[in-house]
Amino acid sequence: MSEKKMQGKHVLVTGSGTGIGREIALEFARQGADVAFHYSRSSGGAESGVLQVCKMGRRAEAFQADLGNLDEVIGLAENAINFLGGIDVLVNNAGITFNKPFLKVTPEEYTKVYNVNMRAQYFLTQKVSQHIIDNNGRGAVCNITSIHGVSGAPEHSVYAGTKGAIISYTRSLAIELAHKGIRVNAIAPGCVPVENYQNAIPGYSDQAQADFARDNIPLGRYGLTLEIAKLAVFLCSDDCGFIVGQTIVADGGTTSLMSLIRDFRNESDVTFGKGYL
C-alpha cells in the first residue's frame, strides 16, 4: 500500500502480549501508528512485539496492568498517554475466556470475569475518551467481543454475559460519543485459534483444529488473527468514517448456520412444500 491507513496515529491495545491483541497491535504499526502494548502477566510477547514495531521505524512500549484492579486500569491509560503523547485509538481486546457449568460458578469467579472483561474496558474507555475530548481530538474505539455474545453455548453463561454486555454498551456508547468526535464499534470473532487453545483444549493440535473447522464452519477453515487485526484497523480508520455503533461478526459463517441443519455441504433429501410447489 502506498498510503498507510493509520500514519501518525497513537494506539493503545489491551491484551496485546498474545493472540489477536498482539496481531492487532502489530497491524496498526504496519499501517503507520505508534503503539502501546499491554500485558497482564507474562511480558515476553508484548516486549517482542515492541521490538518488531521499533524495527518498522515506529515507536512502541509495553505496559503491565492487572485489569481486575481499577487503579492499574487508570494507570495504564495514563502511562500510554504519557509515552505516546496522546491516544487516538483504543482497542479493548483483553479478556478472560472462562467456562464452567452454571450451577458450579462461584461469586468470586463471576466477579473476576466481569471485572476484567467489562468493568476494566468500561473505565479504560472512559479515561481515554475524556483525554481525546479534552484535547479537541477525534478518535476511535474498537471493542473485541465474541460470537458468544450473540449465540448460546453450554458452560459459558458468565463469559457470554460479559461479551453480550460489550455489544450492548458499544451500541449505546457509540451514540453518546459520536457527536464528540469518537467513533465506537466492535468485532465479534468466531473460531480464531490462539495460544490459549493449547492450554485449554486437551490433546490440542493445529491439524485437529483444522479438521474441526473444515467439518463445522461453513467457510471450511478457522479464522486468522491477521484477519481480525485488519478489520480492527479498518474500523478505526477514515475508510470507516460513517460506521458507528456496529458489531461486525467475523466467524466464517458460524452464527449464520442453523444448528438444526445436519449437513450443509450436500443437497438435502427432505422435501418440504411437497404438493404445494
pLDDT of residue 147: 97
H or E, element range at 39: strand 34-39
143, HSE (Cβ side, Cα atoms, 13 Å): 35
**Residue 79 burial (CB count, 10 A):** 18
Residue 7: all three cell numbers together = 500514519
Identify the band that residue 200 occupies on the pLDDT scale cut at 50, 70 and 90: confident
More confident residue, 195 or 79: 79
235-246: pLDDT as tens digits: 999 999 999 999
pLDDT at 3 over 90: no
pLDDT of residue 1: 43
Tell me, yes or no, if 9 is annotated catalytic. Answer: no
Residue 110: all three cell numbers together = 463471576
Contact 212, 152 (CB under 8 A): no
Residues 132-151 have a mean pLDDT of: 96
All structural domains of the chain: 10-256 (3.40.50.720)
Residues 211-234 have a mean pLDDT of: 96
Contact 96, 113 (CB under 8 A): yes
83-109: pLDDT as tens digits: 999 999 999 999 999 999 999 999 999
Identify the band that residue 75 occupies on the pLDDT scale cut at 50, 70 and 90: very high
Tell me, yes or no, if 163 is annotated catalytic. Answer: yes
Tell me, yes or no, if 129 is annotated catalytic. Answer: no
Least confident piece of the model among 164-168, 249-253, 259-263: 259-263
- How many helices, marked H, and strands, marked E, lie in the chain? 9, 7
CA torsion through residues 223, 256, 160, 186, sign: positive
**Alpha-carbon distance 50 to 55, whole Å?**
9
pLDDT at 260 over 70: yes
> For the chain, what percent of residues have pLDDT higher than 90?
84
Determine which one of 127, 163, 222, 230 is catalytic: 163
Identify the band that residue 202 occupies on the pLDDT scale cut at 50, 70 and 90: confident
pLDDT of residue 84: 98
Closest CA to 121 of 82, 65, 195: 65
Phi, psi of 57 (to 5 degrees): 90, 15
**Alpha-carbon distance 19 to 38, whole Å?**
12
Identify the band that residue 117 occupies on the pLDDT scale cut at 50, 70 and 90: very high
Determine which one of 16, 40, 129, 146 is catalytic: 146
Q: What is the maximum alpha-carbon separation in the chain?
A: 72
What is the chain's mean pLDDT, rounded?
94
Determine which one of 159, 169, 222, 230 is catalytic: 159
**Alpha-carbon distance 26 to 29, whole Å?**
5
pLDDT of residue 110: 98
